[in-house]
Structure 1
Amino acid sequence: MKFELAVTDPGSSARAGVITTDHGIIETPIFMPVGTIATVKGISQKDLKEQVDPDIILGNTYHLYLRPQTEILKKAGGLHKFMNWDRNILTDSGGYQVYSLSERRKIKEEGVRFKSHIDGSYHNFTPENVMEIQRAIGADIIMAFDECTPYPCDYRYAKNSMHRTHRWLDRCITHFEKTPPLYGYSQALFPIVQGSTYKDLRKESAEYIASAGAEGNAIGGLSVGEPAEEMYAMTEIVTNILPKEKPRYLMGVGTPINILENIALGVDMFDCVMPTRNARNGMLFTSHGTINIKNKKWEDDFSPIDEAANTYVDTYYTKAYLKHLFSVNELLGKQIATMHNLGFYLWLVREARKHILAGDFSSWKNVMVKQMNNRL
């Protein structure tokens, strides 16, 4: 994997760059649609590629390990072939999913023992077998196994958890270097900064992760319930330490406003289930604010869904028609809203890139944040 930093915005720390892997080019900043179980929910791979056009999507190690299971993925030739996706894929480590199973898991130095949410069977994740699972999945970028702390989290727990994440990283790197890729192309390993919302821990963790010399770095343990101001403060501490010549990935973030503010702090890569999950609940993101399409006010509004027209659905269907589909619980409504939201997220990061390259990102960002705060 290679990363070339093209330019930094003169009024902020926003960056435009290019990541190159064996599956192609990723122009940053980038948003990665979440394809948890070998599909981005509510949209086909064909429409995803032709309408949303992401350079990279995300898969989930925990879920893919349980279903369809790594042996099936190996037989298929990896996740790319299994789901017929010839562009880049990133997989998270499963650490966040294990964290979310707080009633079903036990964390020890060796790793984590957890109960499947599907059938209650017991499984173990260790730094070593998570590397092997992600080799079998075959993503272009894979994540080190970490412990994601909850919010709020007391200082002692956060510190002990952070040091465990660092020790697990050392084991991940050792095992990653001993296990070759399975499908004839390279994979890059990203470690993850932890430390909850404690400035000294975030600084210490960022320094440790930077010293690992990985091809890219991630920031985890944010967007777990902390106020946005805390998220931004922790991100700024970390991005000031992580090497400028490596891509930076802020995991699980977030709203369109969160993304723009974190781009301004020097983050290059994002993922979040929000555009697809909120779409299924009738919330549409636009450059002028959010729309709850279930509201009665839209039932006789025959204007296009979004005149900005990031995907074909934005002008092909009207607000009144989409409101009707949600009223009768028609699956098509969720599919239309999903394509719209994903199209908007990819438009947003690509527009941000244009303004970084043009040197006026900060002023554009401030206008966009104000507009997107509106409830339409």
Structure 2
Amino acid sequence: MRNLDKDEVEPGLQRRLCTSDAVVIGLGAMIGAGLFSAFTPAASAAGSALLVSLVLAAAIAYVNARSSAQLAARYPTSGGTYAYGREVLGPWAGFIAGWGFVIGKIASAAVMALTFATYTVPEGWVKPVAALAVAVLVGVNCLGVTRTAAAARIIVATVLVLLGVVVAVILGGDQDPPLHIAGPGNGVFGVLQGAGLLFFAFAGYARIATLGEEVRNPARSIPRAIGIGLGIIVVLYAAVAVVLLNVLGAGGIAQSAKPLAVALGNSWALPLVQAAAALASLGALLALIAGIGRTSMAMAREHDLPHYFSRIHPRFSTPYRAELAVGAIVIVLVAFLDLRTAIGFSSFGVLVYYLIANIAASKQPAGERLGPAWLGVAGAMGCVLLVATLPFGAVAGGLAMFAVGIGYRAARLWFTSR
């Protein structure tokens, strides 16, 4: 239950989203994250076994999605696994999940802002334009979740059309003989690390669960939206990965920050891939801000973050204080990010988040589960496996940030108890 200050009557979030709204918000979060950011570091890790990493990441994402859908159907409130962890496993488990989501997705938001600017402006303008994009999309989110869904719908539709044209041009081009699409790769560790980095690309469906307090008929709509969104993304990623491997090979993907643009060469369609990348990154950033803001709000309700951030705007029904704070932090971070480390750091935080989700799902009574308990256990084991193989810098940074969060909560509880 949320704790209100004395004499404060706080407005609640409104259930304004239908299933298709939730699907496009999830798609918007996943398309930009995967197609234009994650393939390069994943190919560097997995080599010619990139598709094996993609299949493994997708399988773990599917199990996690089942757990998230099961929990969201039972606890249709804002905050995602932060709320589920508190209900099923206790306050500390919920806090660790929420903290992992917030720090991981703030890193993702910075990556998406920089990706957008990289594709649209000269190098010297990348960071200022990235910061401006964050500020504008925070404003869109603060105006209401229906505006967020409407913007995501336009962005997703446009990006899918542009990608279809780009892939058709690549396939119809006069390319060199195809390279090996699959092979031994860089060993088992490389495949696992590639899967961990590609998991970053699938994790956008969590945005659907964090909107649980704003979706109509959540027990039905959220599981359907998660399943539909993830299914569409798996097909899209696999198709693009096959095309890129066929044209560039794993080495070519690993050496380019813009593999789709490189695959086009000097084609007339090059501006289309630039536009698709820019729009997809904006869509992901829009959905990220919405998800982080609502998880932060849920944590603030329970005083796991300062209660100041729990405030909901009386007119627009949005957690505007939390979203403004998230935007300010992301703007600061755009000046200090390396893409590979940021993606790994994000994957670390989100995999911990899903570790808690899977454990919580496996602990639910049989009547509340969508599948057998062992499915949640398998998902938890998959999360641990991928975390253990992430780049060292990402793991070290993630552990440090979790230490900060745990220390903060322990100190608050100690001062509160005195």
Q: TM-score, normalised by structure 1?
A: 0.27
Bigger helix share:
2
